A and B are shown apart, each in its own frame.
Chain A
Amino acid sequence: MSLQPLACIIPPDLLAAVAREADATQRQALLDTLQLDQSFRVVRAENAARTVETTRALTPRVGAGTPSRSIYDQKHSTATTPGTLARSEGQAPVADVSVNQAYDNFGYTYKLYWDIFHRDSIDDQGLPIEGLVHFGANYDNAFWDGAGHMFFGDGDGQMLTDTTKGIDVVGHELTHGVTQHEANLTYSGQSGALNESVSDVFGSLVKQYHLGQDVATADWLIGADIVGPQLAPALRSMKAPGTANHYDNQPATMDGYVHTTSDNGGVHTNSGIPNHAFYVIATTIGGNAWEAAGQIWYDTLVDPRLRPNATFSKFAALTLRSARTRYGASSNEAAAVKTGWDEVKVRVR
């Protein structure tokens, strides 16, 4: 039996020490071996990292893969407890369009999370999805209450219209719940802007996945289906932050970062920066955004190293780590992640 050189276990530092003392010919051979050894170590580490599975993914609950939706009619009150149950899981459509839109759009959101990320609802444990529609009178908003409920206003017809109509808006609100159950990004300053951006990213992915749009055919707009004439054509643009409507002043890069006390430190303003990074990364990779780019973002969101007070730089570093872990250190995906953060001038560290 011949000895396979690559199967020999020679520590790299010993190889380097021998190379320092060797003559020129031997030194080159040893350095070649060192380089090859390093490549194998990287590949081995990458393979090991890629095979890591979470406990949750291995033990789905009974009934996983099917959402548990309940849509309540708030009848224009501002009560923050569920009103009249209008439609629950498996029931046929009702006469109220808003109820059906909320039901369907929650279904599409659950489907993206389940099909692509194998996540079972908001908490990955099948948490019931509760949507409260017709909240308030002419209420220009939709929100996540931090306690398992998503509220949807009908809009005033000028700024916003029925907020249940936006598949990305419904995906955005449910994703706030996902974020709360994972990184729990603090809703202020940069971590708050990341919280908002993550909701925009997955809200957009829900829409793209449902419509079968790739990165080239997606519009990368947020809220295009719920804006009234005052905010048309959309609330935000991930492709071109700051251009979505007359009042949109989202920055696309750190050069335009807005320091303000308004809106918890500009969480809906500075989210333009990580939003645009995601757009650049997804379009650089190409294909369907929910595949590589979406997977990298999801891996980052559930990474225990992502702390509630994360900065843009810390988040960026973790996305790069996620890309390297899943696709390889020298992969196109990892290179695209670096390109995306460079483009928005966020230092990856």
Chain B
Amino acid sequence: MNLPGSTGDPSGLPDPAHPRDMSDAGLHVTYRRSGGIAGLDLVAECAGSDLPQDHARVARDLLDAPADEPGRGGTEREAAVVPAGADRFTYTVHITDGTRHRTLTWSEGAVPSAAEPLLASLGGLATPQRAP
């Protein structure tokens, strides 16, 4: 498992191995990693076209997937499941294509493998924010 949000390319420059998907112009993604022993929120926001093509496709798939698909995650309210243990991260991603909206929340350790590259990509763009 890669650890979403802990590493990444802070430069935001295109990675030749992951070309940007310019066809996803309407796609918009926001990201928040909360929790951890520091209790620090890391946030990021970007257009789908700013994501590597394969990661943008993950976001599109998450938006397209039926709400009850196993492992996809739930809405923020549905995902208010108490995590096992303590001090683990929580990831919340909001995806929209302008007409449809999805908010997905996962506790660290319960992130579906398909979503890990997207979270890693967004984590690389994220910056700290005072908790709301």
Contacts and interface: CB of A to CB of B under 8 A. Distances in A.
Interface of A: 78, 80, 136-147, 153, 156, 159-160, 163, 169, 172-173, 176, 186-188, 192, 195-196, 199, 223, 230-231, 235-236, 246-249, 258, 260-264, 266-269
B37 A260 contact: no
Q: How large is the interface on B (under 10, 10 to 19, 20 to 34, 35 or more residues)?
A: 20 to 34
B1 to A, nearest CB: 5
Given A263-B41, A264-B82, A137 B6 contact: yes
Contacts of A147: 84-85
Given A136-B6, A138-B7, A260 B38 contact: no
B132 to A, nearest CB: 5
B44 to A, nearest CB: 14
B34 A263 contact: yes
Interface in B62-116: 76, 80, 82-90, 92, 109
B34 A247 contact: no
B3 A78 contact: yes
Given A80-B109, A146-B85, A261-B80, A137 B7 contact: yes
Nearest to A269: B131
A268 B76 contact: no
B3 A139 contact: yes
Q: Chain B: interface secondary structure?
A: loop
Given A137-B7, A144-B85, A247 B35 contact: no
Interface string B5-41: 0110000000000000000000000001011111111
Q: Chain A: interface secondary structure?
A: loop
Contacts of A187: 82-83, 85-86
A136 B39 contact: no
Contact of B37 (A78, A136, A235, A266): A235
A176 B87 CA distance: 9
A297 B128 CA distance: 33
Contacts of A169: 37
Contacts of B131: 247, 249, 258, 260, 262-263, 266, 268-269
Contacts of B128: 159, 230, 247
Best-buried of B2, B3, B7, B86 by chain A (most CB within 10 Å) = B86
A141 B87 contact: yes
21 contacts: A140-B36, A143-B85, A143-B86, A144-B87, A145-B109, A146-B84, A147-B84, A159-B40, A160-B38, A187-B85, A188-B82, A196-B86, A199-B86, A223-B38, A231-B40, A236-B39, A247-B131, A263-B90, A264-B35, A266-B131, A269-B131
A141 B36 contact: yes
Contact of B80 (A145, A172, A173, A188): A188
Given A146-B85, A159-B128, A262 B3 contact: no
A263 B84 contact: no
Contacts of A263: 34-35, 39, 41, 90, 131
Best-buried of B37, B128, B129 by chain A (most CB within 10 Å) = B37
Given A78-B2, A143-B37, A145-B85, 18 more contacts: A139-B6, A140-B38, A141-B36, A142-B37, A145-B84, A147-B84, A159-B38, A169-B37, A172-B37, A187-B82, A188-B80, A196-B86, A235-B38, A247-B40, A262-B131, A262-B132, A263-B39, A268-B36
